[in-house]
């Protein structure tokens, strides 16, 4: 197996380009969420995937329930906003339905 340096560089470059394209295609989505917090329930649209949306907005400490209502391709953000009446401020409030929390009786462990 005597591979030339040029072949190795070409294959490596091709793999890197394919990975970049794959990441762009996978990440190029618009998500419409239904979010429930302690006091509010609303819809919003974001380009963040569900895990990142939850992380950047306080996690399960703040967001009790997160549902993906719809997904759109990246270039259809305006269509997603129009379909769900989110055009003015990217938020559509609903009547609040309380969500029961599954909090254990001893949620914290204190170390001495």
Q: Report which of residues 101 and 92 the model is more confident about.
A: 92
Query: Does the pLDDT at position 5 exceed 60?
Result: yes
Query: Does the pLDDT at position 102 exceed 80?
Result: no
- 3-state class of 68 per DSSP? strand
Q: What is the pLDDT of residues 22-36, one digit of tens each?
A: 666 555 789 999 998
User: For the chain, what is the mean pLDDT?
Assistant: 80
Look up tokens 């906003």; give the residue: 81
* Predicted pLDDT at 79: 92
Query: Is the full-model pTM beyond 0.85?
Result: no
**Which H or E run contains 67?**
strand 63-73
Of 89, 71, 92, 93, the closest CA to residue 80 belongs to 71
∠23-29-33 over CA atoms, to 5°?
Answer: 135
Query: Does the pLDDT at position 45 exceed 90?
Result: yes
* Predicted pLDDT at 93: 81
Q: What is the pLDDT of residues 51-68, one digit of tens each?
A: 889 888 888 888 888 999
3-state helix/strand/coil string of 7-50: HHHHHHHHHHHHHHHHHHHHHCEEEEEEEEECCCEEEEEECCCH
Look up tokens 């270039």; give the residue: 75
């Amino acid at each position: 197996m005597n591979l030339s340096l040029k072949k190795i560089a070409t294959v490596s470059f091709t793999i890197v380009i394919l990975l970049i394209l794959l990441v762009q295609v996978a990440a190029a989505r618009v998500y419409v969420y239904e979010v429930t917090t302690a006091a509010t329930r609303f819809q919003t649209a974001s380009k963040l995937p569900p895990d990142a949306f939850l992380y950047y907005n306080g996690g399960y400490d703040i967001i009790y329930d997160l549902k993906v209502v719809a997904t759109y391709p990246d270039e259809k953000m305006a269509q997603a906003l129009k379909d769900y009446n989110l055009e003015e401020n990217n938020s559509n409030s609903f009547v609040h339905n309380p969500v029961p929390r599954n909090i254990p009786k001893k949620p914290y462990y204190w170390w001495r």
